[in-house]
Amino acid sequence: MNATNLIDTEQRLGAHNYKPLDVVLTRGEGVYVWDTDGKRYLDCLSAYSAVNQGHCHPKIREAMIEQSARLTLTSRAFRNDQLAHFYEEVAALTGSHKVLPMNSGAEAVETAIKAVRKWGYEVKGVPEGKAEIIVCADNFHGRTLSIISFSTDPDARAGFGPYTPGFRIVPFGDADAFAAAINENTVAALIEPIQGEAGVIIPPAGYFTRVRELCTTNKVTLILDEIQTGLGRTGKMLAEEHEGIEADVTLIGKALSGGFYPVSAVLSNSEVLGVLKPGQHGSTFGGNPLACAVARAALRVLTEEGMIENAATMGEYFMDGLRSIRSNIVKDVRGRGLMMAVELEPEAGGARSYCYALKDLGLLAKDTHEHTIRLAPPLIITRAQVDWSVEQIARVLGT
């Protein structure tokens, strides 16, 4: 089938829960992907940071092939020879005390919600059924029923009730509002270090320092959702490092497998994950040997090949280039590391048409919240590739 036929078949047989750009990709290598007609594109989305290491990284692929020939799945009814090594290496890189492997980012979020509620009842002494978790407006933590119950995005939430109770929503970046929301039943706060889906929204300096202090003082578990911001995307292993804080629970996923396999993890101090007993939570595929082998390789190449340092250097260089574009339709350019956004003025008519224009020039980016173009290339991007990208963006946005 050609691209038109493939798109038509998707539209006819698939649920219409996505609205992708009309490009049909068939191959990827490094920062590039190719469509079914052989046209090459520079990928400036990286599957929402899942392919931080670049498409089809050969060392991760080798680990996957090797492990797939040995053992792929045992379930957690038995032990496997990859899980302990995975625990050890993740804990060493992130400073975590306990690790609970899952599959998707949403599963990691759901796991954290379950564990911290149980911790609230058994350790903090909150009355059964009264636990509250503070979350932020404009958040994006996934699309399961419990998660969309505390979403403020009408597209994600409307029409799916009744909703899961137990969440208190406050404005992102407002430490005073956060402080006012804490009460005797507050067991946790669940926050993204940078709100990616909302348009790469960065909180004011000092916000997380105060949030950390408030959580410590009030015995509230600080959960940071680093599924998109973690594993090098912002120029640090974890985005929390930019403010010099440590979360009590950290959620990672996406780049944990370099885009080869669904792998996520809840990282925690022993007190929170320590409340879970056999039979209370799990997943058939969580912690399977194939996932562990792939994740171990993905973490190795991140550190051994200097990708995190490159994200910091190239991110600053990319941002300088974006800010140099002369345009009367650009409202704001913001970002940290290689997690960036260009917000357009309302009179520009929305960001999607500009993403299509960039596609035609060979650069793939994603529109979000109507007026914002998200940019997040693989962490292996070079200076020359950044220059080329900025040139294409200037051609589309420049006036």
Residues designated as active site: 140, 225, 254
Kindly tell me the burial class for residue 237, based on how many C-beta atoms sit within 10 Å of its own C-beta (0-12, 13-18, 19 or more).
buried
Nearest by Cα to 334 from 368, 380, 385:
368
Q: Give the Cα separation of 313 and 318 in Å (integer).
A: 9
Element (H, E) at 147: helix 145-148
* 3-state SS assignment for residue 334: strand
Element (H, E) at 33: strand 32-35
Name 340's bridge partners.
335, 375
Nearest by Cα to 395 from 302, 325, 343, 303:
325
Torsion of CA 196, 200, 201, 203, to 10 degrees: 90
Q: Is 93:256 a contact under the CB 8 Å cutoff?
A: no
* 3-state SS assignment for residue 330: strand
Q: Give the Cα separation of 244 and 167 in Å (integer).
A: 27
